[in-house]
Amino acid sequence: MSLETIFRELQSIFSDQLEIERKAIEALQNASFQDYKPGKHTSLPKELVNVMREEQAHEICKSILKAELDWCPPKTSTDKLYIEHSKRKAHVEILGPNGLIKSDMVRIGLYGMLSQSEYGIRTHPAEEIYIALAGVSYWKRGNDKYKILLPGERSYHPSLMPHSSKTENKAFMSVYVWIGNLSTDNYLYKGLPID
């Protein structure tokens, strides 16, 4: 399965109702594959593969599973606690400053967490949205309590809004978008929330 196919299929996941999603569609449509060379392939953990094969998973999961991507923990921060908490996560930036395809307009990536995992409170200047593709996750926005996120549902985070996510009995897979200030220089990881 080609990366171009995934870019094409991702366009149908985003809505034209929100500016962040309109910008994602535009960036995916304008992406140039001219200089793209497939790199290293690292398989997804079996637990993520299993939730992506479930009936409730978004159809694009089939294409993602066929693609040879380099899945690894995210590297957004060099904070030691962040690195420790990222070990149970799988990530690949497909479009963006560090993406398989370069862009200075957006960051779009695929992001998953194994079951019984937490991704603590963080803030960043970029506006962000996650769209769940498979499995079950729980999201905390600002001072709100955690809310469940199922395939097709969104968690939107305006610039600098503190947010965190976790899983319980199931892993989850998602697609995320960053727009605005794409730099990770002011990304702050504050650890697990006290609830």
Closest CA to 133 of 46, 41, 64: 64
- pLDDT tens per residue across span 57-92: 999 999 999 999 999 988 888 888 888 888 899 999
Domain covering 3-34+47-191: architecture:
Sandwich (2.60)
CA separation for the pair 100, 92 (Å, rounded): 8
Q: What is the pLDDT of residue 37?
A: 83
Q: Two tokens at 162?
A: 């503190």
Tokens of 120: 């603590």
20 falls in which pLDDT band (50, 70, 90)? very high
Can you tell me whether residue 29 is helix, strand or coil?
helix
Percent of the chain, pLDDT > 90?
79
pLDDT of residue 195: 62
Region of 161 on the Ramachandran plot (φ > 0 left; ψ -120 to 50 alpha; else beta): beta
**Span 170-186, average pLDDT:** 96
Q: Is residue 57 within 8 Å of 51, Cβ to Cβ?
A: yes
What predicted TM-score, i.e. pTM, was given to this entire model?
A: 0.94
Q: What angle separates helix 19-30 from helix 3-11, to the nearest 10 degrees?
A: 150
Which of residues 105 and 75 earns the better pLDDT score? 105
Domain boundaries of the chain, sorted by first residue: 3-34+47-191
pLDDT for 1 equals: 52
d(CA 121, CA 99): 24
Model pLDDT, residue 30: 95
Q: Please state which of the ranges 21-30, 64-73, 171-180 shows the lowest mean pLDDT.
A: 64-73
